[in-house]
Structure 1
Amino acid sequence: MNPSLTDMPDVVLRQIFTDVGCPEIFNLRKVCRFFREFLQKFPIDSRIPLINITIYKELRIIKLKPGIMETDGIRYSKQETHCKIRYGNSEKILENCDYSDRIFEDLEIIIAHQKSVLETLEIFCRIPVIWDTEFPETVQRLQKVLENSRKLKVKKFYMHYSNFPHISSLLKLLDAEKIEEIATFSMIKNDIGIEDLVKLDHWKNAKRIKIYNVPINASLQNFLHFEEVTVEFTRISADEMILVTENLLKSTIAREFRIGYTGFENEIQFLNYLGPPRTSDDETNQKIWYKRIENSSESLFIFQSTEHNNYFRLSRIPLSDFPEN
């Protein structure tokens, strides 16, 4: 009699499940109770590089990565009292099943089998009519999934349409030691809750921070430890900008700061600190400065534009790009 999978030693089964990957784990869980209990007892590392959760009205999509899943991911949609699931060219109707319940059941499985570091966790919601209804509910349910799992290790955390309390509520449930980048984009210019985000260890450990379309009221001193910064502030000051410049000149970590601003306190003081610009264009309201970095093969490039929006870019560049004249 030929042995079946259920007769295999645990160590062999674990290797088999590891090799088949996440899509087949879903299928094997449905085969028999033995496999479900085994996978629950010995979660296998699915080695997924990305989890993208996209939220539409009465539709949720989980994308993992092209090559592991189809590019349109697993689609969960509401069909009367049923749940319609589409994966690639396959489609299935689960009768009397809430589509929202089903997606979070599957997310629990995905996250339970993710032991290795996830490159990116993305939560997208581009539909304004559900920002105050389905989106907050999704965030709360995802929060419960993360609370019930081991600390998910994520390098890049990105939320498209979000507010800072939502970001903090999810980010604090991830492994703070692995986070490298935090990025957010919001159509609503509201920085309430930024102070709680700044207090998290994830903020302190991250290398890159990108906050798009939300001018924030915060001190630039909270950003000096980052390698890269892309942020718009409601107000900056000459003292803060001098700190940023000195940090880029002396730090071995800081690489580039892109700083938008609405108001600039004592701007003349900072411009006097920089000295005469290397180039200045009155028509485009743009100025460029270069500063040598001591004992380094790099120089500091400083660009200011006030043509459409107020903006500074300060970045370390190769010394070979430093103009001689």
Structure 2
Amino acid sequence: MQTLTDLPFSFLDQLLAYSGFREIFCLRKVCRGLRDYIDTTKPDLKLTQLFITLREEKLYLTLQFRDEQVVVEYRNGYGSNLFDFHCVVSDGEIVKTLKGERCMDVFFGDFRLVLNLQKTKLKSLKLSQETKYNEILFEEQTSRNLFKRLEECFKARSCRLQTTEINLQTFSILQVLSILPYLEPKTLKTIELMLPTVPYNKETGPRTWRTEKLEELEQWQMAESLNISKDICIGSITNFLHFTHVCVTFYSISGRDLMTIKNILLDDDRVHEFFFKYKHLYHGEQFFESLGRPYIDEQRSLWYFRFPESEEILRVAHWSDSAMMSFHRKDVSSVPVNAVIQE
């Protein structure tokens, strides 16, 4: 009697080409031969977005296809005692109970397979952590374990994962470094990094990120948009000036840094908006004096500088009460009538 593995490879390839996520996972479980064939040929899942969510003792894997979204939930369950445990897996249609399995182990088995079968470029890769645990240390330990295993999955790929955007909610730069280096730098355009809101204490450590190691990555150097929602201590301000859009919070910045931003942006037409908040500004008076008299608009001071041989201007805005600044490329028509445009 002929089995699926006895069929011609061309037929199996066509079968897999017309199979969706659920069908491919089911076919892998038919027999060892079919599983080995799928793992070797790696049919493309053609995902458009991939989301991971850590929520207390649950993990969610969201697979976004062109015409369908599949959300798989993994959670631990227990019987009469702690040694009687199981994993419950649900995708909205089917619920399975896997006795003697932990949800994180089952999740990473599926996640590794998803990564290995994804060949086309993702629009977005996102990871979020919901901080609803009773103990911060337990929460962070779970997070460390999660990112360590995530890194193992990304390392196992034969090539870097292609995605246009990366959105990570993490506890540390080390966690970012467990994912970002394994993405294809030529396709990565947007980097968004966020920190779960947790109180500071001596056990969990400071909540200021040092970005020097990130600034060295080719993924960082080739990306176009950057958004970091936590205070950062930087290596060099010039490592931020290739992005077309920036939104960050500097723990500290100097008047010399501000002058560097202004001068480089006037010579480079790639940057459209550089917005930042700051906690400490050192020697800023000299920089603002060099700009001349500002145009006052409500709570902000504005200065305008014309780009050479262009109908566009660089608008420098400072909100002193809110400790915010922006360098924004705009059309000359946006300049108020009474404002001065410096050449």
What is the TM-score when the length of structure 1 is the normalising length?
A: 0.89
Number of aligned residue pairs: give it. 318
1:176 aligns with: 185
Deviation at residue 25 of structure 1 after TM alignment: 1.7
1:109 aligns with: 113
The equivalent position to 2:285 in structure 1, one of 268, 282, 291, is: 268
1:198 aligns with: 215
1:68 aligns with: 68
Aligned to 1:76, the other structure's residue is in SS state strand
What does 1:262-301 correspond to in 2, within 5 Å? 262-281=279-298, 284=299, 286-301=300-315
Note if contact 1:302-1:314 (Cα within 8 Å) is conserved in structure 2.
Answer: yes
Q: Distance in 1 between matches of 2:290 and 2:3?
A: 76
The equivalent position to 1:136 in structure 2, one of 141, 144, 147, is: 144
Q: Distance in 2 between matches of 1:294 and 1:18?
A: 54
Q: Does 1:223 align with 2:240?
A: yes
Q: Distance in 2 between matches of 1:124 and 1:173?
A: 18
Note if contact 1:23-1:69 (Cα within 8 Å) is conserved in structure 2.
Answer: no
1:160 aligns with: 169
Q: Does 1:314 align with 2:327?
A: yes
- What per-residue deviation string (whole Å, max 9, x for no partner) do you get for residues 116-155 of structure 1? 1122221111225443221111001111111111221222
- What per-residue deviation string (whole Å, max 9, x for no partner) do you get for residues 52-73 of structure 1? 1111222100012274324xx1
Note if contact 2:59-2:75 (Cα within 8 Å) is conserved in structure 1.
Answer: yes
Q: Distance in 1 between matches of 2:23 and 2:233?
A: 45
Deviation at residue 4 of structure 1 after TM alignment: 7.7
Note if contact 1:118-1:154 (Cα within 8 Å) is conserved in structure 2.
Answer: yes
Aligned to 1:323, the other structure's residue is in SS state coil
Q: Distance in 1 between matches of 2:291 and 2:3?
A: 74
- Distance change in 2, residues 1:289/1:11 (3 Å): farther
Q: Distance in 2 between matches of 1:214 and 1:229?
A: 14
Residue ranges of structure 1 left out of the alignment (5+ in a row)? none
Aligned to 1:64, the other structure's residue is in SS state strand
Note if contact 1:298-1:319 (Cα within 8 Å) is conserved in structure 2.
Answer: yes
Deviation at residue 9 of structure 1 after TM alignment: 3.5
Q: Distance in 1 between matches of 2:4 and 2:337?
A: 71
Q: Distance in 1 between matches of 2:232 and 2:214?
A: 15
Q: Distance in 2 between matches of 1:7 and 1:294?
A: 70
Provide the identity percentage.
Answer: 25
1:100 aligns with: 104
2:52 aligns with: 53
Note if contact 1:292-1:299 (Cα within 8 Å) is conserved in structure 2.
Answer: yes
Q: Distance in 1 between matches of 2:8 and 2:328?
A: 56
Note if contact 2:191-2:227 (Cα within 8 Å) is conserved in structure 1.
Answer: yes
Note if contact 1:54-1:124 (Cα within 8 Å) is conserved in structure 2.
Answer: yes
Q: Distance in 2 between matches of 1:69 and 1:30?
A: 22
Q: Distance in 2 between matches of 1:87 and 1:140?
A: 25
Residue ranges of structure 2 left out of the alignment (5+ in a row)? 79-84, 199-205, 339-343
Q: Distance in 1 between matches of 2:312 and 2:5?
A: 61
Q: Distance in 2 between matches of 1:27 and 1:247?
A: 55
Deviation at residue 8 of structure 1 after TM alignment: 4.8
